[in-house]
A and B are shown apart, each in its own frame.
Chain A
Amino acid sequence: MIAVLLDGLVAAPVVFALLAVLMRRERWAVRAAVLGGLFTFGWSVWLAVAANGTLGQSGSTVDVVWLGALDVHWRLGVDGISAPLILMTTLVFATALFSLVRHAPADAEGGPSRTGSLGVLLLVIEAGVLGSFLALDMVLFFVFFEVALIPMWFVINTWGDAHDAKARRRAATRFLLFTVTGSALMLIGFLIVRAEAGTFDIVEIAASYRPSGTTAFIASALVALGLAVKTPMWPLHIWLPDAHSKAPTVGSVILAAVLLKLGTYGLLRFWMPVTSPDWWLVPLVAALGVVGVVYAALACFVQTDLKRLIAYSSVGHMGFVVLGAATFTVGGVQAAVFASVAHGLITGLLFFLAGAIKDRYGTADLARLKVLYGKVPHLAGLFAFAAMASLGLPGLAGFWGEMLAIRAAVGQAPALPETTYTWLAFIAALGVILTSAYFLALMRGMLQGGPVTPVAPAGGSVELVADTVPAGEPVVADAGGTEWVTWSPLVVLTLVLGVAPGLLLTPVADAATAFLGGLG
């Protein structure tokens, strides 16, 4: 039963993508894609319910020889580590696809909008991402990982920021180059692990492989390097701000909410089992994560573009996930999964809102966006909520992951240096304050108003520079019906996970104990 559900979860987006391709009429293609998103979400919920009893065990439910000569198997399985990420992924994809119905991005070159093609590409990405989360074979993971990457290049390049074709192209290409290079390094790492451990089956490796020696170290370092690009970890984050800010709204949402999680999930599933906590590599990774937290927060202070700012904030949030994973404790894995899911919901919401603002005012330039509380109060209020969630306000989802990462760093695995990790926890906590500071500065400037920077009027867009609220009707429409439907699942889940963290923590802890065995 579960085997069918697993295969079906990867197949469902592909089937609907094909269906959408076959549709002659643009509208029907879009509908097929949206239906695919909703169907896949429903399917994943079914899977989660059906597998609920066995989420605490790890192992492949589906195991078919795929490339026999290479010992590559089609190994799929779901446990408490992957299930939350899968549900988050299908939900975010469903909302992103649904938003295409009313708020489709225009073709950047001014051609026909081809929203149907965009839907098809998104479904292909979804299949790749879901496959990555389900794969328990290292090569299979790599293949799905690649499948998810390449369509994104088209999404950024075709539907991205229409103002600057060159920057758009550079962003898309840099995204692809970085991640493809990273995944190639990861693949080499996997192959070395295969030579050491004798199998591509990560569950078996986690159970019996005891990495030691230089070769194993190099393999672990290569895997870490490859995933560090994707996560991204400082200083390999440089592709991210460009890609996230130039992509269309749905692209930014998917990139931030889902694609980054391939990196963090990879760290938990494919890096931790091939790594020994005795190595200096582990504290180094933790330290890079914490550097990312502080660095990204500092970078956010000086951003002038809303989408770029949110993109940088992702780097900081991912730093907490890396720190959690690098503690090699069950608590750390919990923190990493929780922070990944929370970031998916919250940053997805933030990018939706940023996109809505950009659509309305034709710009994401923070020097020109002012007094949104007065102009679009509902949109602005929702943005304030999302910002509060993102800065880790207790009672919302963003809090638990980061707090648990700090707690895990204070109580790190015995093999790791205690003083180093205590300091890292402290610095990461200061990063939380910096994060609060830049979000408050953002809200103060963009939502409330502030010193107005005179700018030359740009062609055709609404004049935004005003220190007071214009009298009478607002200039642009506030959040509308479709938008509320799109965003409310993210809002509700941010609240639910913030109030009831146990929903997620318990299955993750069981699965982490089962999968990684020896963790304390």
Chain B
Amino acid sequence: MSWVVLLLVVLPFTSAALSLVVGHRGEVAERGIAVGASALGLVLAGVVAFPHLGNAAPLGHVYASTAAAGPPIEFSVYVDQLTAVMLLLAHTVAFLVQVYSLGYMAGDPRYPSYAALISLFTGAMTLVVAADDLWALLIGWELMGACSYFLISHHWEQQEARAGAVKAFLMTRLADLGLLFGIIVLGARFDTYQISTIMGQIADGGFARDELWVPALLVTAAVIGKSSQFPLHTWLPDAMPGPTPISALIHAATMVAAGVFLVARTFPLYLSAPAALTVLALVAALTMFISALYALFTDDLKRVLAWSTVSQLAYMFGALAVGAYAAGVLHLLAHGAFKALLFLAAGSVVHAVGTTSMSAMGGLREKLPDTFITMTIGFGALAGVVPLVGFFTKDAVIGSVWEAARHGNLIWPWVAWVLLVSMVATAVLTVAYSMRAWLRVFFTPTATEAAAEQVAAELAAVEPHDAPPSMKVPLYLLSIPTVLGGLVVAYPQLIFGEGEYDLVHVGVSLVMTLLVVATAVLVAWQWQRSGGRDPWHPYVLPHPPVDRIYAVGVVQPVQWLARGVRLSDRDVIDAYADGAGAAARGLGWLLRRAQTGRIQTYLMVVVVGACAIAVMAGVIA
């Protein structure tokens, strides 16, 4: 089995290299490699994953190891239930994104490098979820950052694309320092970099409460950056100029999902260090609410979805922070399905309309019927509508926080209460912004005449058309888990094996459903009152103020320092350089002489130098 895992890790990198080398030869080659390799990857992921679900014993294998100073750095894999589901998620979404891109990116001259980067991205994520060595994990972890940088700036002619790409790379890389130092600290402490060994030793006990708070907090820093949580939450929405299928890949199955995965992978470390769990809970509580507020007011469809990702990731962290491992991981999977669906559907809206602004949309229900059906399912799942998958997993999350607030002993009860209040409030906001986006994209008639003319002109210019089959089929395929995925909540042991799972909370579900219905009615009523346009006045929220703080507190000082450095190199240090130069004018004369005769004189200089050495040595010795 271990060689299949190896193949699975190596395959995406090979296909990326092939795409780059022979991808320019022709359309068949470039598309065949991209889609064929990702299909093969999906099959292999299935072969690896299914035997390791449920009660199966995990597979660990070391392929290569360095025999060097310090603990060995290994190329090793570890496949357990968590790895298995993540492999399935990542490769399913990657495959569908590749298929979808056939239509979406048709005619793009940069398609080969685009397809290669998606393969590379998939390979990096595979490495992250399968690696058993912390360094190998770090390689995949940062490689994803680089891939997202290149993909976000795919349309590098656009200023926003360039800026968003740089921001994404720098913010996540800064946070990655936490993981780097965390790895160093863990390696020094346990004398190994093997994740399974370290986590096994922690789980076996023997560590005082919060004894390992330093590495736990360091890992948390990296997770906050990768998953775009407060105060590094601003890069993900700014990454929206990238092609929409990329957003689906980043938001559903790779990059940001890797943050949640890492907390789940190092869960014993977190359980031993409630300090880190408390930080995680508070960050999540704050992030989910403010990002939902941004989603509520923004006019850009893709940014609505981006902010909703930030918010939903915070739900997962909230669940993990109260120790609800299964609920957090299941919400990650559910979110992967419906967010991929939403982004791909949004992509086909954008493909048809030619813009991401919701003011230019409206009434697309008849024009894009397939997109309408599938996106409705996606929005329903996001809002937590019975019986879609989001309903079950979100209620499992909220229910577990409710339990933790009353009986939990992992984090302080007040933290759990803060988390609970934020989750319920965010759930209401989620319904509101999902409903608003859904109404504005598909229902809003173009009411006032001026707006009608403008929209009509814009729509006429691009001639809305429903997507080609390569774009429709992935939408319907993703609808299946979005509709039926809730069944998993009833049988979690199919995934995680035998154990106690407290995932169904009838009371919580009832209250939440009532809230969903009430909010939906309220939004619909507001929408009617507005004449079927925007349910509330579009209000431009100020850009996240933390960005100002970074600009003033980090970027400007660096620029000042850089200017200072230039001055010092020019003036201060040059002064002594020129002083030395003046003192050595005699030697300069010699060199001028030397320059005339080239090689011969040069040989003479060497000889004279050698004599000088001999004399000097003689004097001192």
Contacts and interface: CB of A to CB of B under 8 A. Distances in A.
Q: Do A and B come from one complex?
A: yes
Interface of A: 21, 67, 69-72, 117, 120, 139, 142-143, 146-147, 150-151, 153-154, 157, 173-174, 176-178, 181, 187-188, 191-192, 194-195, 235, 238-239, 241, 295, 298-299, 301-302, 329-331, 334, 373, 381, 384, 388, 393-395, 399, 403, 406-407, 410-411, 426, 429-430, 432-434, 436-437, 440-441, 444, 447-450, 468-469, 500-502, 505-506, 508-509, 512-513
A298 B561 contact: yes
A142 B613 contact: yes
A298 B569 CA distance: 11
Interface string B59-94: 000001111111001000000000000000000000
B184 interface: yes
Interface in B172-211: 173-174, 177, 180-181, 184-185, 187-188
Contact of B621 (A194, A295, A331, A433): A194
Nearest to B173: A436
B68 A410 contact: no
B577 A502 contact: no
B559 interface: yes
Nearest to B70: A331
Given A393-B143, A436-B169, A505 B580 contact: no
A70 B614 contact: yes
A70 B73 contact: no
A484 B590 CA distance: 42
Question: For B69, B113, B561, B574, which residue has the most chain A Cβ atoms within 10 angstroms?
Answer: B69
B146 A388 contact: yes
A66 B380 CA distance: 86
A197 to B, nearest CB: 13
Contacts of B142: 393-395
B494 to A, nearest CB: 35
Is chain A's binding surface mostly helix, strand, loop or mixed?
helix
B194 to A, nearest CB: 16
Nearest to B572: A235
A448 B68 CA distance: 41
Interface string B550-574: 0000000011011111100100011
Contacts of A71: 621
Given A146-B609, A153-B591, A394-B139, A70 B617 contact: yes
A350 B316 CA distance: 43
B618 A70 contact: yes
A230 to B, nearest CB: 16
B143 A301 contact: no
A139 B618 CA distance: 12
A187 B616 contact: yes
A-B pairs with the 8 shortest C-beta distances?
A502-B66, A301-B562, A330-B69, A505-B68, A448-B156, A394-B139, A298-B565, A298-B562
A334 B68 contact: yes
B569 A238 contact: yes
B157 interface: yes
B602 interface: yes
B573 A195 contact: no
Contacts, number: 173
Interface residues of B, number: 67
Contacts of A406: 180, 184
B581 A177 contact: yes
B566 A299 contact: yes
Contacts of B67: 502, 506, 509
A494 to B, nearest CB: 14
Contacts of B563: 302
Interface string B141-158: 111001001100100110
A327 to B, nearest CB: 11
A443 B162 CA distance: 10
Contacts of B170: 433, 436-437, 440
A173 B173 contact: no
A151 B146 contact: no
A407 B156 CA distance: 36
Nearest to A299: B565
B181 A150 contact: no
Contacts of B66: 501-502, 505-506
B144 to A, nearest CB: 10
Nearest to B560: A298
B373 interface: no
A301 to B, nearest CB: 4
A177 B566 contact: no
A191 B156 CA distance: 58
B77 to A, nearest CB: 15
Contacts of B456: none
8 contacts: A150-B602, A194-B620, A238-B574, A394-B142, A429-B180, A440-B170, A505-B73, A506-B67
Contact of A502 (B64, B113, B559): B64
Contacts of B620: 188, 191-192, 194-195
Contacts of B135: 394
Interface string B366-406: 00000000000000000000000000000000000000000
Contacts of B517: none
A513 B135 CA distance: 24
B588 to A, nearest CB: 6
A392 to B, nearest CB: 9
B295 to A, nearest CB: 28
B559 A441 contact: no
Contacts of A177: 580-581, 584, 587
A414 to B, nearest CB: 14
Question: For A142, A441, A468, A509, which residue has the most chain B Cβ atoms within 10 angstroms?
Answer: A509
B543 interface: no
A177 B66 CA distance: 43
A502 B73 contact: yes
Interface string B112-143: 01000000000000000000000100110111
Contacts of A448: 153, 156, 162
B588 A173 contact: yes
A383 to B, nearest CB: 13
A373 B69 contact: no
B93 to A, nearest CB: 22
Nearest to B566: A302
B524 interface: no
Contacts of B569: 238, 241, 299
Interface string B577-615: 100110010011001000100110010011001100110
B595 to A, nearest CB: 7
Given A191-B617, A395-B139, A299 B177 contact: no
A331 B69 contact: yes
A501 B188 CA distance: 20
Contact of B69 (A146, A187, A430, A509): A509
Nearest to A69: B618
B554 to A, nearest CB: 10
Contacts of B591: 153, 173, 176
A433 B173 contact: yes
A495 B497 CA distance: 40
A241 B569 CA distance: 10
Contacts of A512: 69
A393 B66 CA distance: 20
B598 A117 contact: yes
B166 interface: yes
B68 A394 contact: no
B375 to A, nearest CB: 33
A447 B153 CA distance: 11
